[in-house]
A and B are shown apart, each in its own frame.
Chain A
Amino acid sequence: MARVEVPLLRVEQLQTHFLTQAGVARAVDGVTFEVAPGEVLGLVGESGSGKSVTGFSILGLVDEPGRIVGGRVLFEGENLVAAGEARLRQLRGNRIAMIFQDPMMTLNPVLRIDTQMIEAVRAHRRVDRAEARRRARDALGRVGIPAPEERLSAYPHQFSGGMRQRVAIAIALLNEPRVIIADEPTTALDVTIQAQILYEMQKLCGETGTALIWITHDLAVVSGLADRVCVMYAGRIVESGPVDAVLDRPLHPYTAGLIGSVPSRNRRGARLAQIPGMTPSLFALPSGCAFRARCPNAGEDCAREAPPESVPEVGRTLRCYHPWQAERAS
């Protein structure tokens, strides 16, 4: 199903590096993707592969010693990498919202929930406190917090882990942004509450055309929610495409290994299939393909040069010399 809309957000050849004493960590190294209005893009990948840093980079939230050293982030045509802090502050939490992996990055531990939520509304909207509070209460109800009125006056530490996550989601929903970057937003949520949140998200995308970038390791959520998926490994997108294609016919050996590790694909109690070897340190990436040392398909050519991006099928991208399916078919 080809989408014709112009991309709402386009990330082009983004490079974000951490210049540390031990060397340069290329956390994000040439990432390109785009999302259209109403589209849900899943971003999955190895722990430490640069998913969160990609999200931070879009919003200009990379801290020292990190720096965007290359590429562009185009939001409705405007390059945010070149935008000033004042402009970014206008956009953050308003047109583009991020739900952080750690809810305590959103929440201030010493302020009551209502104070924080009312602030978040009034920073961008001219409404009185009563109206802002009403919006806050509605948002809490939508993410399944019981007794939202009473809970508004609580402090973050009085909430369970999943409740804090939901408050962070509620804050992101407050101003009906055009793009939401959700970083592992439902990791601590049970399936019923997760379904409630995903329902609200689907509704939002469908009704208001909000685009979603859903960063997660949970392939089941990606398969249920996303239209397209990008798979990251060591700072690069190694594979991307429509969800059905990527999950049913993975081309990159890393993607295939990832899918093979899902517990429900393994026999109960047996050792889970795991990708051999360890995530390489960003300071000591091997030459050529970063996945080479762990890859069952690797050949000599993989050591020479990092595989360039190819287009194996319409709508799909891949960085690999010896794709999974092709190997098995031959």
Chain B
Amino acid sequence: MSAREAAAAGETGPLLRLEGICKRFVKRLDLAERLAARLGADVKEEVVHAVEDVDLAIEPGEVVGLVGESGCGKSTLGRVVAGIHAASAGRMTYRGKDITDAAGAEAKKSALKIQMIFQDPFASLNPRLKVAEIVGEAPLVHGIVPRAQLAGYVDEVLESVGLDPAYRRRYPHQFSGGQRQRIGIARALAVRPDFLVCDESVAALDVSIQAQVLNLFMDLRERLDLTYLFISHDLGVVEHLSDRVAIMYLGRLVEVAPTAALFAEGANHPYAQALLAEVPRIDSRRRVFKPVEGEIPSPLDPPPGCAFHPRCPHAFARCRAERPLLREVAPGRWSACHLNDQA
């Protein structure tokens, strides 16, 4: 029985469970600012509320698409899941074991199994290592392949992401943007993870190679029961690949829905509706693009009530005062909007 069937039969819990996860970044005052503050100047520590109170459970073998506005906290949430950032608050379990404390024994065990493919390939590849070393290092260190078979293994992984193994002796700067992104994918796949956090992993690829990599992701899921948190701004890709979609706005989840229902019936949350309405299609020519209406709120100072109210066409008094909670509005569909109480 595959993990997915087991999950469907209710025999295992979710692979990953997030409960009340928060991540805040504090910009501490430098010396001059501290002095100024002591003299009564109006300088305060700035706190970025990157991720606020996120609850999400991901089943084994599931693909969850994570979408939302630029800067809303998707990468930060991904980094928390991958153990790169420690959560400021909340609890995280993997296969039922607590991995909230990244230094804890369980977290260390899961660290290799949860791999992240980074949004920014250039910053995440060591410029002094050749491609073969970047991809081969971790599998060797962790004893996934013996040294004698390493070269062949690396070639295989490179080919699976559409890179010619002839390039194995090159350094990252000698590659094009899309080629670098694939090196990052190859590095993550080389350690045979169970769970992949893909952060805009196909964003820099032309559609044909993107198709190849997405097909690879789908194959791996079939073959190895890989589970994905798939961060992307490309709703076409998310629709194609995901079982469920989680939509984030200013650090919080505002809607979680099965993909088929979301795209067939439309979104429930007004932000999610706006997002779906803007999807560019290859058939729409020389469009007149519209600027964002209303003010884009800042995670330095999130608006009270519903964070979307300054831009929401339906906002009413309660939205400005009280924060809507994520509620189940239809089987498997969750949305955080006061309009759902008005019926």
Contact = CB atoms under 8 A, between A and B. Distances in A.
Interface of A: 18, 20, 22, 44-48, 51-52, 101-102, 104, 144-147, 150-151, 154, 158-163, 165-166, 183-184, 187-196, 198-200, 202, 217-221, 223-225, 227, 243-244, 247, 257-259, 261-266, 268-269, 271-275, 278-281, 283-284
Contacts of A281: 164, 166-167
A198 B287 CA distance: 10
Nearest to A221: B280
A62 B33 CA distance: 42
Interface string B26-44: 0100000000000000000
B109 interface: no
Contacts of B239: 263-264, 268
A48 B263 CA distance: 34
B11 interface: no
Given A48-B179, A150-B298, A272 B206 contact: no
A177 B204 CA distance: 25
A224 B240 contact: no
Contacts of B291: 195-196, 199-200
Contact of A161 (B176, B200, B235): B200
A294 to B, nearest CB: 9
A275 B215 CA distance: 12
A290 to B, nearest CB: 14
Contact of A102 (B122, B237, B274): B122
Contacts of A195: 278, 289-292
Given A193-B292, A279-B162, A219 B200 contact: no
Contacts of B281: 220, 223, 264
Contact of B289 (A188, A199, A220, A280): A199
Q: Which 5 A-B pairs have the closest CB atoms?
A: A162-B70, A47-B178, A272-B211, A147-B298, A217-B206
Contact of B204 (A184, A258, A280): A184
A187 B235 CA distance: 12
Interface residues of B, number: 80
Nearest to A48: B176
B236 A264 contact: yes
B214 interface: yes
A44 B282 CA distance: 13
B150 interface: no
9 contacts: A47-B182, A48-B178, A150-B300, A188-B70, A189-B233, A193-B69, A217-B205, A223-B285, A269-B240
Interface in B191-240: 199-200, 203-212, 214-215, 218, 233-237, 239-240
Contacts of A191: 233, 235, 275, 278-280
Given A147-B301, A258-B207, A224 B177 contact: no
Given A47-B179, A101-B177, A258 B119 contact: no
Nearest to B285: A223
B280 to A, nearest CB: 4
A250 to B, nearest CB: 12
A159 B76 CA distance: 11
B240 A263 contact: yes
Interface string B175-193: 1111100100000000000
A135 B153 CA distance: 52
B29 to A, nearest CB: 12
Contacts of B286: 224-225, 227, 243
Contact of B280 (A47, A196, A220): A220
Nearest to B281: A220
B75 interface: yes
Contacts of A227: 286
A104 B125 CA distance: 13
Contacts of A166: 70
Most A CB within 10 A of own CB, among B68, B177, B206, B235: B206
Nearest to B165: A281
